[in-house]
Structure 1
Amino acid sequence: MSDTTVDQKTSYDPANVVTSETVVIEASPTLVWEILTDLDRYGEWNPFCVKASSTLEMGAPVFMSLVNYPNPGALLQGCEYVCAFEPERRLAWEARWHEDWPYAARRDQFVEPVAGGHCRYWSTDAFLGENGVHVMRFCGPWVKRAFDDTAYALKAHAEALHAQRMGR
């Protein structure tokens, strides 16, 4: 008999997931991965996460400065932990549940190869557990906007870098 107990602190509910727009990037998955993992340069292209640092090893902290969309001009400081690192496929980090911060979440960024040597990119943020519904209600719309802005900025940056490297 299997254990079907659900941890109410970190359970997954698809209703509490933000998904960015999916963009087709006319650059290779390798180049897009290079950009996503070069955290030191996020401030050059990323309109949401303007500063990040991490070794990107599994379980390593990712320290971030995020634009506070509901409060323009302010930055939010965050620390999440790497929970997936699949080269040229997926990069993810999570905010773990803790009594002092009972708002567990997981952000995944996906890169998918497509014909012609290009790729698709999108990201998700799952607000987990019994508090996920509240986080979704209050933060979902602006997180969606931030993730869409990031997807389009990544597309523009990767395509410009690709053109530059191709000598165009």
Structure 2
Amino acid sequence: MATPPRYFMMEDGQRTGPHSLAVLLQKAEMHALTADTLIAPENEPGIMLPLRDFQVLCSELLPERVHYTLGAHAIDRVNTTEIPAALSVQEILSDNLARERAVEGQLLKSARARTNNRRRDYVLLTVAGNAFAALAWVLFPGTPMVVVSLLGFVVIYNVSLAWVLYGVMDRY
């Protein structure tokens, strides 16, 4: 099995590689590879040539860009004046019911409801966090800075805990 070609290249005055074609393509997408970048095939590492000398490789790594211009444009079609027939609600409903009946046996049965441990965890974490704040209030002196910081902690902790457990997380 033949190995894909690999290439050495000069980056910031240093020889790097050998690089696969995928790596060279990534470097070209990041504009770290230009037509002037020196490159050498792995089987001829001593001959460093600009990428533009390898026509096939250059066209694959640096494809020609499409240049868009403003100008006259031909109109291919025109809006029609015909009004399509309106859909009736009964047609849509009967179509939906027919499709539902057609796949009725193929649909998955609803799984039983998962147990909900969120309430237990919420109560446990709320009691633990507030007990931690109460312990800190008892151990540290009752300066206004400590009291305000602990009140802020309690509010942010309780609100974020409720948001994470009931807003962000799914039932578990």
Q: TM-score range by the shorter chain?
A: under 0.3
Q: TM-score, normalised by structure 2?
A: 0.22
By percentage of residues, which structure has more strand?
1
By percentage of residues, which structure has more helix?
2
Larger RCO: 1 or 2 (CA < 8 Å, sep 6+): 1
Q: TM-score, normalised by structure 1?
A: 0.22
Larger Rg: 2
